[in-house]
Amino acid sequence: MVETYRIYGDPQKIVEEVSSEILEKLEKMFGELRNSIKRDLEDLVNKKVSELRSRIDEGIKKYQGTVESSRSKIEVELKKIAEQRREMWINKVVEDAKNRFIKELLENKELYKKFLRRSLEAVLALEGEVYIETNNASLNLVKEIIEEIGAGDKIRSISGEAKIDGGFIAFSGDRSIRYNYTLEHVIETNLYELKVRISKILFG
């Protein structure tokens, strides 16, 4: 009788037991809910972190690509500048070598006369008659050589009005063929070899 009353009859006990069961269920439910929310939050955070990492990786890749592209462009530009500087120095040395060659050859009368003589003989071996154009400084020397080799009858005219440093220009009798034996031209025809040599001397 007493037990039946304690379990079923006492409203306070019933409320306490029901409340206790409800609280236990609520705690369990809230615990599961907390775990579920925690898992969802972790998943969401991991997803956001993954997305952020992916964006960062993409940004880094783009940045690396931009940097690499810029570096390649800079390297190409630097090589171009270096090549231009190298060519500038070679041309400067070549020009200096040309001027020295002409100056030294003109100062060495014997060697210059030998150059003129061989050049005239080469032209006269190909042409029966020629016109000669030289500069004023070389005019008398050219006439002297023509007289020495006995080629006066093959020379139609000799002019000392040519704007050249040395040597001469010859034309065939009908002026259809031009022979360039100026000192400038002699150097120009050997310019490639001269540049190669100077390049090796300057840059190895």
Same domain, 30 and 78: yes
pLDDT score for 139: 95
- By three-state DSSP, how is residue 132 classified? strand
Same domain, 99 and 25: yes
Which regions in the chain score pLDDT beneath 50? 1-8
pTM of the model: 0.56
202 and 93 Cβ atoms separated by less than 8 Å: yes
Count the domains in the chain: 2
pLDDT score for 19: 55
Q: What residues contact 195, with CB distance under 8 A and at least 6 apart?
A: 90, 94
Q: What is the CATH number of the domain that holds 164?
A: 3.30.2320.30
Q: Pick from 105, 120, 136: which residue ends a domain?
A: 105
Same domain, 101 and 5: yes
Range of the domain at 20: 1-105
Q: What residues contact 138, with CB distance under 8 A and at least 6 apart?
A: 116, 160, 166, 167, 168
pLDDT score for 163: 93
Same domain, 98 and 22: yes
pLDDT score for 37: 65
Same domain, 9 and 98: yes
Same domain, 75 and 95: yes
Same domain, 11 and 98: yes
